Amino acid sequence: MLVHLGKTEEATLIRNALLKALEDGCRTGDIFIGDAGTQKLGTKEFATAIIDRLGESPKILKMQEIRKPEPFTLSKVDVLEKKELMGVDVFLDCHSNRNPEFLGKKLEEFTTGNLKLKMITNRGVKVYPEGQPETFLTDHCRSRFVSSDGGVVNHQTIHSLLQKFNEAGMDFIKTENLYYFDGKPGYSLGQGE
């Protein structure tokens, strides 16, 4: 905080007093391990130990000199040329049936326009297709639908997909659109992607 306020001399004074207190064996409970020559102090006593050493320098630990940070400058932000909607993640509350095979087969029927189910994950672990049967499943999963032809997806296609979830009585919690920026994915890849 002192550095942020431009008070680097005061910050240096306190830092070196802290190092001297550590050299002298002063420890708070979180770093006290009972070594010879050390004493366990409460935070109030430790603060007093630092105050008592203001102006002193450590002998063993490297003395610190805190300098003013370089002024912060904003760098030029590159302007994106192209933003393309390539798919959507639909997050589900699947407490009624967590079986990935059942859910995957059902969601494959939801293919809409050029949107096709690619995978289902649960806690970030791929569970469909080719998931591991021993995977611990929660009632929250993500179904990833992506462009089946590599083309751009439109919002109407996503709306139609969500309508299929609604008609099937499936509780989708949220959605997240998957975009490419200048031909590169702007979203996290799933396991195995």
Kindly report the CATH number assigned to the domain that includes residue 115.
3.30.70.1570
Record the tokens describing residue 143, joined without a space.
Answer: 């179904």
What pLDDT does residue 123 have? 87
Is 190 inside a domain boundary? Answer: no
> 39 lies in which domain range?
1-73
Is 152 inside a domain boundary? Answer: yes
Is 191 inside a domain boundary? Answer: no
Q: For the segment 93-136, what is each residue's pLDDT rounded down to a tens digit?
A: 987 777 888 899 999 999 989 999 999 998 888 999 888 878 88
Q: What is 27-59 written as a DSSP string?
A: EETTT----TT-EEE-HHHHHHHHHHTTT---S
Asked whether residue 112 falls in the same domain as residue 177, the answer is yes
Q: What is the mean pLDDT of the chain?
A: 90
Q: For the segment 132-177, what is each residue's pLDDT rounded down to a tens digit?
A: 878 888 889 999 999 999 889 999 999 999 999 999 999 999 999 9
Q: For the segment 21-31, what is each residue's pLDDT rounded down to a tens digit?
A: 999 999 999 99
- Is pLDDT at 77 greater than 80 in this prediction? no
Asked whether residue 181 falls in the same domain as residue 160, the answer is yes
What pLDDT does residue 160 have? 96
H helices within 53-109, ranges in order? 100-108
Angle, CA 105 vertex, CA 99 and CA 107 arms, to 5°? 95
d(CA 166, CA 149): 25
User: Domain count of the chain?
Assistant: 2
Is the link from the previous residue into 133 a cis peptide, with omega within 30 of 0? no
Asked whether residue 87 falls in the same domain as residue 147, the answer is yes
Asked whether residue 114 falls in the same domain as residue 47, the answer is no
What pLDDT does residue 24 have? 95
Asked whether residue 62 falls in the same domain as residue 113, the answer is no
- Is pLDDT at 17 greater than 80 in this prediction? yes
